[in-house]
Amino acid sequence: MGLLIVWVTLVVLLVVLRPPGQSLADLARVFPNTLRLTLALYRDPSLPRSVRWRLRVAMLYNLQPINLIPDFIPVLGLADNAIVLIWALRSTIRIAGRAAVDEHRPGSSGGLAVLYRAIRLS
């Protein structure tokens, strides 16, 4: 039940944050493309080591079965995972710059605009 609530909340958030004229298919690809972007930025040796460490921490935190707030707790269990990933992406984009993100981004620019709006980067 908690997972269903999280998915519905995520869908509503993405629909509200989408730029005008963006298709729902592009919107559905935001999450997988964000994961691909995170992995591509992590693998880029030209980025500073501190950036790659932030991404490593976020990925390891999200992959481990036991977190600060266990995942089986509805809504809050998955919220801490999202918060850690958002922290890593915001700091990575601020330090590495948008040029690095544009170089590695999968998907459309509209999906990237939704990601920027979701993590509150103008």
In tens, the pLDDT along 34-87 reads 888 888 999 999 999 999 999 999 888 888 877 777 767 777 777 788 888 889
Cα–Cα dist 103/93, whole Å: 12
Give the pLDDT confidence score for residue 48 in this predicted structure. Answer: 92
DSSP state of 66: S
State the number of CA atoms in the 13 A half-sphere of 85 facing the CB: 18
Cα–Cα dist 39/68, whole Å: 23
Cα–Cα dist 90/34, whole Å: 12
| pLDDT surpasses 70 at 3 | no
Give the pLDDT confidence score for residue 52 in this predicted structure. Answer: 92
The residue among 84, 98, 24 whose CA lies nearest residue 55 is 84
Indicate yes or no: pTM above 0.85: no
